[in-house]
Amino acid sequence: MEVGVFSTQPYDREPLERANRERGHRLSFLEPRLGPDTAELGAQFEAVCVFVNDRLSRPVLERLCAGKTRLVALRCAGFNNVDLAAARELGLTVVRVPAYSPHAVAEHAVGLILMLNRKLHRAYARVREANFSLAGLCGFDLYGRQVGVLGTGAIGAAFCQIMRGFGCTVVAADPLPNPACLELGVQYVSAAELFQSSDIISLHCPLTAETRHIIGAESLPLMKRGVMIINTGRGALIDSSAVVAALKSGHVGYLGIDVYEEEENLFFRDLSSEIVQDDVFMRLLTFPNVVVTAHQGFFTREALANIADTTIANISAFEHGAGELFRVA
Ligand code: NAI
């Protein structure tokens, strides 16, 4: 098939070309994001291959559909950036990569916890300036602490397993309890109970109308003073302005985020010589107890290879009407 690969980064090409070697799809690597301004370009391809910050709204899907496009192949797990109802109405097939390496994201979430707790970001900078003082670097034992996990699918379950290994008590909220987590000794509670009793809260649920701003003005007051919040899910799970207020008051003690609700204007680009206009984001960067990474949870060699393999296999399965198709619409 003719495939337009939008939002291509240099590291996307090699794994996709390798996975495609024996399949023979004609891949066109395009740097721009797919959105209203580039839908015309997308409409020239039978399939568009997109990532987390491409925007497939109804008008974009309508434009694609009016052209040659029949397949939207997401090379990621989340699909909150596609209007699925519109895709169904238009008869467009949407596929994704459901689980390419849950460990990659879970391990990154744990990295954020360790960094914030033991203040490794500050220690690193200090030691490089020959400042060997420990003042302000005191952390806490993770052993025995309660971790609350919102969403125990593939990534949440991998995260639960690691935190159980640290000797943490793990509670979780998920409408579909995961038997693997129950076996690990994870206790399922309501989201409100999880917020009230956890020392660390980690978000691993998809972004939906129900979970949008699940961390916000309503839930933050329920939490323990000094709580640590980790978000490697999707940015809009957190109401950023509400969390800035809670950081300023000291109610939130630590924030580690790999995703941000307005990240599409920021992440995956070098803006180091530009003036960033997002004041909420820039305020977040000023807190000593906030660590931000730019959506790199998925970014391991294993995950990139799996993403490429499943994406190309999805495209082939669609083309030939045979083989497993990881369909979301
Ligand atoms: P999954 O589909 O395996 O698991 C999601 C779980 O969330 C399911 O068990 C589901 O029942 C649960 N859930 C749904 N609504 C919920 C709610 N209201 N409250 C609590 N739980 C709820 O998905 P997976 O692979 O574990 O990924 C989770 C999310 O992580 C993705 O939707 C995506 O947004 C994000 N992600 C982030 C990456 C990164 O690089 N930072 C990479 C991959 C995924």
Look up the CATH number of the domain holding residue 139: 3.40.50.720
Note whether 9 and 95 are same-domain residues.
yes
> Could you report the per-residue pLDDT of 51-64, keeping only the tens digit for each?
999 999 999 999 99
Q: Determine the distance separating the centroid of ligand 1 and the alpha carbon of 244, expressed in angstroms.
A: 24
Q: Which of 53, 82, 105, 291 to mutate to test the pocket of ligand 1 (most atoms within 8 A of CB)?
A: 105
Strand partners, 170: 147
Note whether 124 and 161 are same-domain residues.
yes
**Nearest protein Cα to ligand 1, atom 42:** 298
Alpha helices in 35-184 (DSSP H): 39-42, 58-66, 84-90, 102-118, 120-128, 154-165, 179-183
Note whether 87 and 113 are same-domain residues.
no
| Residue 29 in domain | yes
Note whether 110 and 142 are same-domain residues.
yes
Note whether 71 and 132 are same-domain residues.
no
Note whether 91 and 131 are same-domain residues.
no
pLDDT at 49: 98
Note whether 108 and 170 are same-domain residues.
yes
| Residue 329 in domain | no
**149 backbone dihedrals φ, ψ, rounded to 5°:** -115, 120
| Residue 263 in domain | yes
| Residue 327 in domain | no
Note whether 79 and 153 are same-domain residues.
no
> Could you report the per-residue pLDDT of 203-218, keeping only the tens digit for each?
999 999 999 999 999 9
**Ligand 1, atom nearest to 178 Cα:** 9
Task: Answer whether residue 323 shows pLDDT above 90.
Answer: no
pLDDT at 99: 86
| Residue 123 in domain | yes
Note whether 165 and 70 are same-domain residues.
no
- Residues spanned by the domain of 11: 2-100+300-320
Residues serving a catalytic function are: 234, 263, 295
| Residue 325 in domain | no
Q: Determine the distance separating the centroid of ligand 1 and the alpha carbon of 78, expressed in angstroms.
A: 7
**259 backbone dihedrals φ, ψ, rounded to 5°:** -140, 150
Note whether 118 and 245 are same-domain residues.
yes
Note whether 121 and 56 are same-domain residues.
no
Pick from 228, 236, 318: which is nearest to 280 by CA? 236
Percent of the chain with pLDDT over 90: 97
> Could you report the per-residue pLDDT of 280-309, keeping only the tens digit for each?
999 999 999 999 999 999 999 999 999 999
| Residue 142 in domain | yes
Note whether 167 and 280 are same-domain residues.
yes
| Residue 328 in domain | no
pLDDT band at 137 (very low <50, low <70, confident <90, very high): very high
Distance between CA atoms of residues 206 and 204, nearest Å:
7
**Nearest protein Cα to ligand 1, atom 33:** 78
pLDDT at 37: 97
Distance between CA atoms of residues 230 and 225, nearest Å:
15
Mean pLDDT of 107-117: 98
Distance between CA atoms of residues 49 and 209, nearest Å:
25
pLDDT band at 226 (very low <50, low <70, confident <90, very high): very high
Please name the residues in contact with 209: beta carbons below 8 A apart, sequence gap of 6 or more. Answer: none
Angle, in degrees to the nearest 10, between helices 102-118 and 154-165: 40
Q: Determine the distance separating the centroid of ligand 1 and the alpha carbon of 298, expressed in angstroms.
A: 13
Total of domains in the chain: 2
